[in-house]
Amino acid sequence: MTPEVARLTNDIMIAVGEQQTYLTRLEHQLKELQTREYLGLKDDPELSLILLIDGLKRFLSSIPQFRSYWLGKKSQFSNLSGGLKGLDSSERKNFGQDLNWFKQTVESELAGIQQRAERLEIEFRLLSERLDVTLPPRPSPIGLIHPISRTIEEITAIFGAMDFVVGEGLDIQTDWYNFGALNIPAHHPARADHDTFYLPGERDGRPLLLRTQTSDAQIITMLNQKPPLRVIAPGRTYRADHDATHSPMFHQCEGLAIDRALTLGHLKGCLIDFLRSFFGIANLPVRFRASYFPFTEPSMEVDIGWNRRTGELGGGGDWLEILGSGMVHARVLANCGLDAREWQGFAFGMGVERLTMLKHGIPDLRLFFESDLRWLRHYGCNPLAPVMLHEAP
């Protein structure tokens, strides 16, 4: 080996030895930390894991600089390599072999150092990020379902047990689907601007509006599916009204059943079973009163028994209006291409917020839409709790 390469090799081995000594010291510190943890001893301030990991990171980042110092373009090795051109062929061969051996040795030593340092870093990280599985878990807050969402789930589950399916309409609808198909005449107060949100533009030559009821889903279902039908339509509706018991945006659920021999008896049985199951009161008093709706004939309001003084449902001698219902009007059937001499149907509609307020004792409808986390923590529902179906006798 030429003297120049021998001197350079001696220098690099001294530098590599210092690197190996540093890693050996870290390995001893790692073993001491593992022993202290195994014996349950208190942490030693001089053996800070954070400081040791930080120092090891700096060491790993310095390895490329170390390599560049010994093998880079401005290194002694590069200067020696540049002198090969001035040597004769025999000297160039021997000197070149020595330089190649030196380079391979340095590369091998640096690879070993880097591999050793990376293994140490993993060991330190495993020690610092280790979990004590005997500790109790940290409590994490559980998100809650909004009471309106839970009410819709319960309504869907109860009517689903009666073979009803969920139908969907559009929030932005034409006046024909919202009024005309439902036998609501042009002079009806519900069509006035102070009751309905009309929108600019038209669809199919008809004015656009925000639907005031989810009945459009019933019309869409009758136009696109052949009877017999059983469908409910929960969803958002919009009306120009706002106070403690009314909101410009609220939720409704309307239902429709079409078959060849449906009667008022079927309607009454369906709604009585639903109300008693929803409120969980097996003997809940239910009363049907004659009323008027343009889209049903005959029409009925449905009341439930309650105590006006205490607010208790099912008790006392008072009655509380809860929803509207009736047999589907012959004109509505005709508008959807159904022959009223062959098909009969019943329909009903209820306010989701109203049902929720009664079931959970919520006094003000506006609280539903204020996004108050304290209110939601009080009235919210556990998302993991299943929807319960209370069997009516």
Domain with residue 240: its CATH number is 3.30.930.10
338 and 367 in one domain?
A: yes
Of 167, 278, 154, 160, the closest CA to residue 214 belongs to 167
Residue 273: give the domain boundaries. 147-379
Q: What confidence score (pLDDT) does residue 116 get?
A: 82
Instruction: Tell me if 389 is assigned to some domain.
Output: no
206 and 309 in one domain?
A: yes
3-state secondary structure of 232: strand
- Domain boundary (128, 158, 185) is at 128
Helices and strands in the chain: count of H runs, count of E runs: 11, 10
CA–CA separation, 212 and 351 (whole Å): 12
- Let me know if 112 is exposed, middle or buried by CB neighbors in 10 A (0-12, 13-18, 19+): middle
332 and 246 in one domain?
A: yes
Q: Are 147 and 362 in contact (CB under 8 A)?
A: yes
- Let me know if 139 is exposed, middle or buried by CB neighbors in 10 A (0-12, 13-18, 19+): exposed
Instruction: Tell me if 139 is assigned to some domain.
Output: no
Of 294, 353, 299, the closest CA to residue 325 belongs to 299
255 and 336 in one domain?
A: yes
CA–CA separation, 124 and 29 (whole Å): 10
Kindly give the confidence (pLDDT) of every residue in the chain, 393 residues in length, as a single tens digit, with 9 standing for 90 and above: 667 667 767 777 787 788 888 888 877 777 777 776 656 655 555 556 667 777 778 888 887 877 777 677 777 667 666 666 666 666 667 667 777 777 787 788 888 888 888 888 888 777 777 777 787 888 877 788 999 999 999 999 999 999 999 999 999 999 899 888 998 877 777 666 557 888 998 888 888 999 999 999 999 999 999 999 999 999 999 988 766 666 788 899 999 999 998 999 999 999 999 999 999 888 999 999 999 998 999 999 999 998 888 888 887 789 999 999 999 999 999 999 999 999 999 999 999 999 999 998 888 888 888 888 888 888 888 888 777 665 444
Instruction: Tell me if 393 is assigned to some domain.
Output: no
Instruction: Tell me if 117 is assigned to some domain.
Output: yes
177 and 95 in one domain?
A: no
Q: What confidence score (pLDDT) does residue 1 get?
A: 60
CA–CA separation, 40 and 387 (whole Å): 48
Instruction: Tell me if 237 is assigned to some domain.
Output: yes
With a CB cutoff of 8 Å and minimum separation 6, the contacts of 322 are 275, 302, 303, 304, 350, 354, 355, 358
Q: How many domains does the chain have?
A: 2
Instruction: Tell me if 135 is assigned to some domain.
Output: no
CA–CA separation, 154 and 151 (whole Å): 5
Q: What confidence score (pLDDT) does residue 187 get?
A: 77
Between the CA of residue 315 and those of 276, 305, 309, 318, what are the distances in Å? 13, 6, 10, 8
312 and 208 in one domain?
A: yes
CA–CA separation, 387 and 160 (whole Å): 12
CA–CA separation, 359 and 381 (whole Å): 13
Determine if residue 55 is left, alpha or beta; phi over 0 gives left, psi from -120 to 50 gives alpha, anything else beta: alpha
Tokens for 365?
């409808």
Tokens for 313?
């449902």
331 and 213 in one domain?
A: yes
- Domain boundary (83, 100, 128) is at 128
How far is C-alpha 211 from the geometric centre of its chain's CA atoms?
Answer: 27
- Domain boundary (95, 128, 161) is at 128
Instruction: Tell me if 105 is assigned to some domain.
Output: yes
